[in-house]
Structure 1
Amino acid sequence: MDAIAGRLARDEPALRSSRDLWPGVRQGTGTGSGASLFIGDMVGIALFTPAMAGTRDYRMALLAKPGDAVVVRQRSPGFEAYLAEYLGIRQVRFLEAQGADPAPVAKQCRTSPALFGPLLELLQAAGSLTLNGYLVTGHLWQLAQALAAAAGLPVYVAGPSPRMSRRVNDKLWFWEVAREIAGPESVPPTAFAFGPAAAAGQIARLARVSGQVVVKVPDSAGAAGNIRFGAAQLEGLGPAALRALLEQRLRAAGWEGGYPVLVGVWESGVEKSPSVQMWLPQAAGGPPEILGLFEQRVQGREGRFAGARYASLSRDTEDTLTADALRLGALFQQAGYFGPCSLDAVLRTDPSGAEQIHWIECNGRWSGVSIPLAAATGLLGQRPGGIVIVQEYLADQAPHDTAWQCSRLGDLLLRRGQSREGVILVSPPRPQRASLNAAAVAGSQARAEALMDAVFERISPAG
């Protein structure tokens, strides 16, 4: 592991060195009376626009404490009232960025006096400030440097260097590393394509041996950059027509022409989509920690994330997932990674009937699982014995606000300090489309499942 991490760092020194290029800024978390800033913006992940991200940037507010600040694209007074009344998240300053601006919020915080001024005041009053981003990018480090320079006070970034962040979230980079650490059979058949002709050729080649092929924009997430092709769909298409179809579908998803792209087999026989949630401290802070094994629920042809729950797996499968994840986490940590990290896989049955684990991608950032898990752990004082997370649109329902959801769910909602189980609203519902982003937590998985069933009974049109 040391040798591989050393080689990665030699081949790309910026994995480690780019975190040391920001005067007055330290990697880590402040201590004592320092404050924290939370930015849950998803813009910065390839193909994500403000409209796609919706209201989910409020999720990071669940991690805030008195004296902290949260910046969102569009404020929701109703959700802020819910956070205060039910979860005890009070004395937190909420700031509103320009919602429709395609610039990442971290950049807006640095360039807009209306945002930079209050953050500078927060830093000066607290003595230090820790920046927490859903995704850590160069914009977050630049904001930290600007604040540190203006105040002459320490600013911390709770995450990896910009280069390390890009690498662990790159599906092609992860595929190479996972193949080396966990073995060549631990990943699905995958190819790099450095141009449109190469991509079309790889699609045609894989379609001959597999019924489904997927092209992925390697640094996107949440299925936003997944383009599926069925073998029947490609029949009769020559190289030029296949290339044109591929670029048409990629550009429709917001792709701007960057290569390489990933071309791989869309797995058949998939039974479950396990995810290993980890926390990777700084190298001097101890080994990677497994926070939980989850089973993800995905929807649609492209496999959009719709929720998760603790996984129900065989002991052998759990042991393999855990061992591989710890090795990969240790490698990332030694190469310079710090912060939350999750590894996604698929569990499938091959044609011979044997069970097979294939690693798919790494999420080197906070996620729709890690945020509610961390929030529930903080609210309960311990990791919940059972948890079910839902993040989905509600078909055939009119959109409703947070107050309506609270009124319908009533006694099901968790109240900090008053209940040991209940439902946590993770982000506000979308204004224009009925949605639910919530987590049910309880002492057992069966109880958490029952609570989430009760949620859907109450918010359904007939409920």
Structure 2
Amino acid sequence: MQEWTSGVMTLSAPVLPCWEEEESKRLDEIAEDLAANDPLFDEERETYAALFPTALPKEPPFSLLIDDFSIIAHLHLVRGLAYYASRAFTRAQQGDLVAGTFAPIPGIEDYLDTRLGLGRCEYLQIEPAEGKPTYACFAGLREDEEALRVLLQRMADNDNSVWFHPYMGLRDAWECGLMLKERSGGDVQILAPLPYITEQTNDKVWLTEVTKLALGESYAMRAVGARSVSEAVAKLRAIAEGVEKVSLKLANSATGMGTGIFEAAKIREMDSETLLAFVEDWCKEKEWDADHDPPLSVEVWETDVLASPSTQLWIPPVSEGPPVLEGVFDQLFQPDEDHVFLGSIKSQLPQPLQDELAQTSLKLGRIFQRLGYLGRCSFDTIYCGTSLDDATLKYVECNGRWGGTSTPMTLMTRLFGDFRARPYLAGSMHSECLVGVSFDDFVRTLDDILYDAETGEGWAVVYNIGCLAPSGKIDVITLGEDLAQASKRQTTFVELVTERFGG
């Protein structure tokens, strides 16, 4: 029997930790040392104790779902970015409230309820906060009295309680929770990691150091942090010796937007003045602020990558057991940009490698759990070498949040009871022919291929629906009898959309 977790259907048989008790003690000691050396971990436990769940409910509570990703660096150039928050609809259940700063999307509630059978939720539009990014939803909610009035009334209708289920545990979410608890006098719980561990897990430099402690040097990227441009210049020159490529990364960026990849030979050829100007220009372009942003990650860009798997974890409260692994996936990237995420499929790697991925990820997950992590977590990794028979696993980054693989995985589990029940490929389409197309028209035009939960007919499930009209982008899961057919249908989907919408 499946267990319900605030809008997330978890697998009945996930992968569990498989190691001796002594190893658990070692991992717990690492977490204790990290907390002892950084008092913010324990300080936040006290600050937000009333909001942090010690156990999960057995039945669906009234939930507020907001996908606020405003602490992720360098996203503001993405077209239609505020509408990416519509991904929260995939986690909503009957009676839930989804909120965002984007305009209502006619037809989305009908699609989720009638077409997919996920229940009917409601949408609450928030006025963006002055001086904040338009997609900073929680900052907007704290200042929008009309939206707060609606939320407080919905709480009153549900035993004066609400569960926040955010995209990530950013500080604005927790501060909003404290404010709402004070104003309502009710119960507010937040299904997310505490803000400081959220920030740390999404920091590539911090992950590298914790990976070394938990798993050993060989599992970590060849990377160092830099807190100034001059330090980045010195470390970039040093790390460029004897390798083919190097990179600079914003430590808290996503989707490759904060990554620069450079030929190491060119770095070695530059004199000090030229290299300083080069790094300064890159930092200016990425709007990196040495005084306020996390340190840059200066890395060797591995060129012998054989596979780029990701692991998907669910981290419950400590009282409910250890972190579990729900899936291992192979990531797909843009053909000419091997750092820009395109989609994912269930991993085709040999089982021993999947086992290694599972157990090493769960070790990191245990440390995170002890530091105040709760909810969805995933890791991006690479296998390097000349053959998978003796490949080396390296941890590239942690997605301390929901993401491009966990969202469709969880949606598939909600639809079919287990994402492994149907071969599928999660991808996306972006075309100017879709700009301005309403979601209602989109559904009517593609009615013959869109999956219907009641009849079982159709092979395409769409989500991230809000981006359709403003930017011509939509994410799609294609189903198949096998992975080959699911993959082919991604191409078919693009062809049919292009043909029917006149692209």
Same fold (TM over 0.5): yes
Distance in 1 between residues matched to 2:57 and 2:478, nearest whole Å: 31
Structure 2 residue aligned with 1:435, among 473, 490, 496? 473
- 1:278 Cα deviation from its structure 2 partner: 0.8
How far does residue 459 in structure 1 lie from its aligned partner after superposition? 1.9
SS at match of 1:115: helix
**More moved, 178-187 vs 156-165:** 178-187
Q: Could you say what secondary structure the match of 1:317 adopts? A: helix
2:309 corresponding residue in structure 1: 274
**How many aligned residue pairs are there?**
462
| CA distance in 2 between partners of 1:272 and 1:201 (Å) | 31
1:44-55 pair list within 5 angstroms: 44-49=71-76, 51=78, 53-55=81-83
2:51 aligns with 25
Query: Aligned ranges for residues 130-279 of structure 1 at < 5 Å?
Result: 130-234=163-267, 236-257=269-290, 258=293, 260-279=295-314
Q: Which segment drifts farther, 409-418 or 23-32? A: 23-32
- Report if the CA contact (8 A) 2:329-2:344 is conserved: yes
The CA distance in 2 between the partners of 1:175 and 1:246, in whole Å, is 22
Structure 2 vs 1, CA of residues 420 and 377 (structure 1 numbering), >3 Å: closer, same or farther?
farther
Greater displacement, 65-74 / 84-93: 84-93
Q: Quick one: percent identity of the two aligned structures?
A: 25
Q: Contact between 2:308 and 2:331, CA under 8 Å: does it hold in 1?
A: yes
Q: Deviations over 1:302-332 (max 9, x none)?
A: 7121111111001221121112112111221
Partner-residue secondary structure (3-state), 1:46: coil
Whichever residue aligns with residue 19 of structure 1, its letter is: R
2:398 corresponds to 1:362: yes
* Separation (CA, whole Å) in 1 of partners of 2:440 and 2:358: 40
- AA aligned to 1:410 is D
Of the candidates 62, 82, 87, which is equivalent to residue 116 of structure 2? 87
1:106 aligns with 138
**How far apart, CA to CA, are the structure 2 residues paired with 1:267 and 1:68?**
44
Amino acid at match of 1:71: A
Q: Distance in 1 between matches of 2:112 and 2:197?
A: 33
- CA positional deviation for 1:344: 0.7
Unaligned runs of 5+ in 2: 1-26
Consecutive unaligned residues in structure 1, runs of 5 or more: none
AA at the equivalent of 1:169: N
Moved more, 133-142 or 253-262: 253-262
Aligned AA (1:454): T
AA matched with 1:341: C
- Label 1:461 to 1:206 Cα distance change in 2 as closer, same or farther (>3 A): farther
The answer on whether the counterparts of 2:109 and 2:120 sit within 8 Å (CA) in structure 1 is no
AA aligned opposite 2:376: P
Name 2:65's counterpart in structure 1: 38
User: Following the alignment from structure 1 to structure 2, what is the Cα–Cα distance between the partners of residues 397 and 10?
Assistant: 55
What one-letter code is carried by the residue in structure 1 that aligns with 2:153?
E
Distance 2:41 2:475 in 1: 34
The equivalent of 2:318 in structure 1 is: 283
RMSD across aligned C-alpha pairs, in angstroms?
Answer: 2.6
Q: Secondary structure at the match of 1:309?
A: strand
Kindly provide the CA deviation profile for residues 234-269 of structure 1, in whole angstroms up to 9, marking residues without a partner as x.
Answer: 364222321222222222223233352110011102
Match of 1:9 in 2: 35
Q: Is the 8 Å Cα contact of residues 306 and 392 (structure 1) preserved in structure 2?
A: no
Contact 1:307 1:392 in 2 (8 A): no
Q: Secondary structure at the match of 1:159?
A: coil
Does 1:460 find its partner at 2:498?
yes
